[in-house]
Amino acid sequence: MAIADDVSFDTVNKIVSRSGSPSSTVYSVNALYSYVMDYFDELGLMDDTVPMSAQTPTSYTMISGWYIQEELTQFLDGGAIQTSGYLDEIHVLTLDGTYTNAVAGDIGKQVTDDSSEIGALLDYNNTAQKWFIRVGSSTVIADNSVMAITAGTGAGDASGDSVTGEAVFANPYTLGALEGTPAIYIYQNGSPITSWWSDGPFDILLKVAEGGSDIDSKTITVTTRTWTDTYSTFEITLTTAGQNAVPLGTQDDLNNTNTEADVQDWAAANIGGDGTTYQIDIDFEFSSPFQYDIGDGNGAQDYNVQIDCNGQTLDKVYEVCKWATRDGATGEKLETESDSNTINGEAYRYAKASYAEVTASPLGTFAGGKFFGARGVYFTNLHGDDAQNFQLIDANGVARFPPNYQAFTVGGVESGDRVAVFLAEAGAVKKDQYSLNGANALNTITVSSSIPADTPTTGTIIVVDDDSSETSYAYSSYSGSDFTVSISASVYSGTETAYVPYILEQASGTSVSETTTIYVSDRSVICRVRKKGILPFVTTGNYTSTGYAATAIRTTDSIVT
Amino acid sequence: MAITFDKLTKVIEIESPAIEVTIQDLVNAIRDWQDELDNIETPNILSAAGKEALGGGVSVGVTMTLLNGWKVAFQARAGPEYVQCTVSGGNLVSEDESNPIYPTAFTQIVVTASSSATTSGLFFLNSFSISSKLFFDM
């Protein structure tokens, strides 16, 4: 069908609309304009005003008081339309009370305000209960006016005064690589817009101003969140004229492969899940943020979003996070900005607008077996295997990394072997690892520097006295610069040195490990394994971000008896 | 016979009244001492070689090499008589080729040494060995 079959003009009421039985063809605004120009150049219409003007190939204006019905704008693309002449001419009225839907036959009929005819009905939106009336003056229709249509159907009461002013139909269009043909949805002023566009990339006209006022400053949020794909969201403030590109990009999400139904079973009821398999949950706190110490030595930090992993691995948690924010996640189960400010999961973008948005998955992404939490997100009840499989950004925007627990391990030993790993310097045991700090207090040995996190939580501190004699003390804990030992006060004056083996124990199996140590920086170490009956074994190496492992070579001592 | 170790002076001392120690005794004592957790921080004290079988129940004698400056001493005596003490049963040398014996008061140390020591028939072999006394009166 040609555009002439799909667009009609009401020269009496100055309405451009879809024809009675239109096709679903979408025309460019330029095509509409061209048709308008062609239609109104006929001799029989020379007494009518021209409805449209063009400023650029993608910017057009409804002029001379002509009204374009909103339904028609849903079948246009490729340009924006603004109006010039709506002010003090066309009024927008929202109705309430016992609302009776207007019908197509009401168009052009007189609207009555408390039984007085005030102008023709140009358009209506029964969902929003809005009428568009050609009043032809600045006189508003007062709140609570009883509205009806002469010899028509629609009726209701005015909900507030009518407004008059220009309208803007902006023209957003998407670009970028999308996985498949995803559904793309728009939130405007906090509410979803019922889509009339097809799945996949779109090019649409969207009303961003009405009655002379911008709708949410002409800002919209365009989102696509298709299950098993990465998500994409773009917030844009649309312009009055021309086109507005909305960049979106999605791809197959290799970490999101379970079915929605399965993942729904993993999610707690609090976020809309069934919770029948697991109870992975999400909670929010803004006025009194959650406090969480990741163990990086910087103490507890603020977080706004707490994800209870329910002891499940982070790959499952990630899918629940995606499920909670997927297209179709409604019911206002998530919160943003402030306590109890609930929104639909499909509209959730961040804990706070000031936080950097993670569009691919708004609660955090998952890659290489590691969950990268969005700002303000942290985890509780992690699976045991995930102690280091995540990275956070606290509410203050500081990246937080879980402590890098890295073990010292010596293998190839037998039960009874004596095993030691010491900090080394120039291939020898570094016995001045610490300097003592003043006379020791009762049951405390204080060193002059902070004890690094790669120190075993319990172990042995060996004090080297001024005469180089050494005394070992088992410590039960340490904090700051203090080792807790069993010692009388003032045994040492503070001139002594001390060192702490990473391993100093007798093997009870085939290997010896120290797993409480947190990697701080590379350390040169020396490892010794001794047992009468084998030749003393010694090797040097480095403790790195992946730990330290040595394998002893047990060579029988053929001499000793 | 008690053998003690002094980490500070790096002296292995055979306590009085013992007047003789074998290389085997020393090896055993050293290995036993240095495998203790309290001593594992100490660098290795000795290496030892020998005991390879030569056939007929005879084997190569043990050569014990003291490492890292360690030396062997017999506990000092009160004097004024000198007490002759013996290190037997193999060769005792130092890694740095210095004298492996640490001198003590009123002791006179005899170290048996041989370029072809065997462990079988030790007394017999001793009679063929080159003897040396401390203070280098060989």
For residue B84 the two structure tokens come to 């002759």
How far is the alpha carbon of A418 from chain B, nearest alpha carbon, in Å?
A: 6
Note the pLDDT of residue A515: 82
pLDDT computed for residue B107 by the predictor: 95
Return phi, psi of residue B128, to 5°: -100, 0
Which residue of chain B comes nearest to A462, CA vs CA? Answer: B38
In CATH terms, A170-247 corresponds, of 3.30.360.10, 3.40.190.10, 2.60.40.3110, 3.30.420.40, to 2.60.40.3110
- Per-residue pLDDT reduced to its tens digit, A343-402: 999 999 999 999 999 999 999 999 999 999 999 999 999 887 887 899 999 999 999 998
On whether the CB atoms of residues A476 and B12 are closer than 8 A, the answer is no
The pair phi, psi for residue B31, each rounded to 5°, is -60, -40
Closest CA to A532 of B43, B30, B22, B24: B30
Closest in B27, B28, B44 to A536, CB measured = B44
Q: Is A106 helix (H, G, I), strand (E, B) or coil?
A: helix
Position B133 confidence tier, pLDDT thresholds 50, 70, 90 = very low
- Distance between B43 CA and the closest CA of chain A, angstroms: 8
How far does Cα A10 stand from its chain's mean position?
48
Contact A528/B at CB under 8 A: yes
Give B115's pLDDT tier (boundaries 50, 70, 90).
Answer: low
A416 near B CB under 8 A: no
Q: For chains A and B, what is the number of CB pairs under 8 angstroms?
A: 59
Q: What predicted TM-score, i.e. pTM, was given to this entire model?
A: 0.68
- Check whether B124 has a pLDDT greater than 70: no
pLDDT bucket at B116, cuts 50 / 70 / 90: low
Q: Which residue of A has its CA nearest to B6?
A: A469
Question: How confident is the model at residue B53, as a pLDDT?
Answer: 86
Q: What is the pLDDT of residue B123?
A: 40
Judge contact between A414 and A425, C-beta under 8 A.
no
> Nearest-CA distance from A462 to chain B in Å?
9
Rounded to whole angstroms, what are the CA distances from A226 to A245, A531, B65, B114?
Answer: 21, 63, 76, 88
Torsion of CA A328, A332, A336, A338, to 10 degrees: 170
Distance of CA A328 to the CA centre of its chain: 16
Domains of chain A: which residue ranges?
3-83, 90-164, 170-247, 260-400, 408-551
Helical residues (DSSP H) of A19-93, grouped into ranges: 29-39, 70-73
For residue B58, the model assigns a pLDDT of 85
What pLDDT, on a 0 to 100 scale, did the predictor assign at position A543? Answer: 96
Say what the pLDDT of residue B56 is: 84
Interface test with B, best of A502, A530, A538, A555 (most B CBs within 10 A): A530
**Residues in B touching A418 (Cβ below 8 Å):** 35-37, 40
Range from A407-411, A457-461, B11-15, B129-133 carrying the lowest mean pLDDT: B129-133
Question: Do the bridges between strand B20-22 and strand B83-88 make them parallel or antiparallel, or are there none, so unpaired?
Answer: parallel
Q: Residues, chain B, total?
A: 138
User: Is A560 in contact with B28 (Cβ distance < 8 A)?
Assistant: yes
Query: Phi, psi (5° rounding) for residue A230?
Result: -70, 155
Q: Are A154 and A121 in contact (CB under 8 A)?
A: yes
Q: How far is CA A287 from CA A72, A305, A307, A308, A341, in A?
A: 46, 12, 18, 20, 12
Q: How far apart are CA A36 and CA A22, in angstroms?
A: 17
B136: confidence class by pLDDT, cuts 50, 70, 90: very low
Measured between CA atoms, how close is A412 to chain B, in angstroms? 17
The residue ranges of chain A whose pLDDT is under 70 are: 1
Q: What's the pLDDT at A191?
A: 94
